[in-house]
Amino acid sequence: MYVFRSSPLIVSFPSCDLFVHLQKIFLSLSVMRNGMEPPEKIRASIGTAIVLGLTHGKIDAEPTTAYLLTYRKGKCQASCAFCPQSKRSSGRADMLSRITWPAFLTREVIRRVDKTFRLKKILRVCIQALNYPSVVDDLTALAELVKEHSDVPISISCQPLSRSDLERLFYAGVQRVSVSLDAATEEIFNRVKGSGVGGPYTWNGHFKALREAIRVFGRGNVTTHLIVGLGETEEEFVKILQTCVDMGAYPALFAFTPIPGTLLSNNPPPPLASYRRLQLAHYLITKGVSRYENMTFRSGCLIDFGVSNEQLKSAIRRGRAFMTSGCPGCNRPYYNERPGGPLYNFPRKPTSDEIARIEKFFMS
């Protein structure tokens, strides 16, 4: 069920096709357009650039989403301690996580996104945003440009926005929005994104933005990112997973990745065994099979998932729990790891041998 809002009316539509059609009608109305040109350049992840034919190279797993990043000469105005785009990072401006993001002409990128989408090589486009004063104008113009040329679903990952800015993105044709909590607790949030690093963000502000996004885009159409390995316990992480699901935001899992030049460059990635437990908890919670309240923890460590052994074995052997989580069509190849492994998030279905190795984490 889709909820289409045109204040003061709220109308529900059961058909995705009808939703898209009406969204296009609103897009065509000049009153809804921002009247601005899209930015001349945009960044694409190196894997995306290869799939779109913008550059040459070999990749072990092709991205099934076209990952784009807003382009500007300066750094992001945020201070996130784990991010090379942070204003406090001395890292490269063309890096996000461990991936390089070369810049290309925007219109050529969007033309190739449409072509690749029609060939069914990508399922979605995700535009990730730095924090700077004109970012909402840029995102709106980019979304409008995409919708003028393609029917590819659009996701946007951005900083907390006001209700009016979220509605601008909605009417521009954006299907999903992500506002990243990243941290599992308020204390860690303040230390890596907020006042502890001179950042502009607050824990309550992010939750307010998530609630506003859910009101505009609807339950199930809002994502948040959560990073494992910032100092939280497994219990704290599972608790925030449940909180996000209950409020209507889908939590996507990331493994902390130390990047040169960032404030956390010397911190280690999370233990793989712990990450596997949290992936399985994430799967059981997001599928409605178990809940945080049904799980058991000892000294912060997850020791019981609140389901039968048969359910647990079935979930493990299915393999889906250990694949990349995010928007539909997102596989984010090697965002957190090298192709040689170990793989925290599989960009494809794990092989039977990989499943057998994963099972060993749960046998003790």
What span, in angstroms and rounded, lies between the C-alpha atoms of 247 and 271? 29
Instruction: Give the tens place of pLDDT for each residue, 265-313.
Output: 999 999 999 999 999 999 999 999 999 999 999 999 999 999 999 999 9
Q: Cis ω on the peptide bond leading into residue 339 (within 30° of 0)? A: no
When pLDDT is averaged across residues 213-240 and rounded to a whole number, the result is 98
Instruction: Give the tens place of pLDDT for each residue, 139-165.
Output: 999 999 999 999 999 999 999 999 999
What span, in angstroms and rounded, lies between the C-alpha atoms of 267 and 278? 20
Q: What is the pLDDT of residue 335?
A: 79
- Size (the chain), residues: 364
Facing residues of 254 across strands?
A: 227
Mean pLDDT of the chain: 90
Mapped onto helix, strand or coil, the DSSP state of residue 240 is helix
328 CB-near residues (< 8 Å, 6+ apart): 123, 124, 153
Q: How many CA atoms lie within 13 A of 90 on its CB side?
A: 5
H helix intervals, 58-149: 106-118, 135-149
Instruction: Indicate the pTM of the whole model.
Output: 0.88
Residue 10 has pLDDT above 50, yes or no: no
Q: What is the pLDDT of residue 25?
A: 52
Q: What is the pLDDT of residue 88?
A: 78
Say how many C-beta atoms besides its own lie within 10 A of residue 188's C-beta: 20
User: CA 281, 155, 138 angle in degrees (round to 5)?
Assistant: 140
Tokens (6 digits) for 73: 């000469």
When pLDDT is averaged across residues 15-20 and rounded to a whole number, the result is 49
Residue 353 has pLDDT above 60, yes or no: yes
> Residue 34 — very low, low, confident or very high, per pLDDT cuts 50/70/90?
low
What span, in angstroms and rounded, lies between the C-alpha atoms of 182 and 80? 10
Extended beta strands in the chain, E state: 2-6, 9-13, 41-44, 65-70, 95-96, 99-100, 103-105, 124-128, 154-158, 176-179, 222-228, 249-255, 296-298, 301-304
When pLDDT is averaged across residues 50-79 and rounded to a whole number, the result is 92
Q: What is the pLDDT of residue 94?
A: 65
Q: What is the pLDDT of residue 22?
A: 55
Nearest to 159 by CA among 109, 110, 213: 213
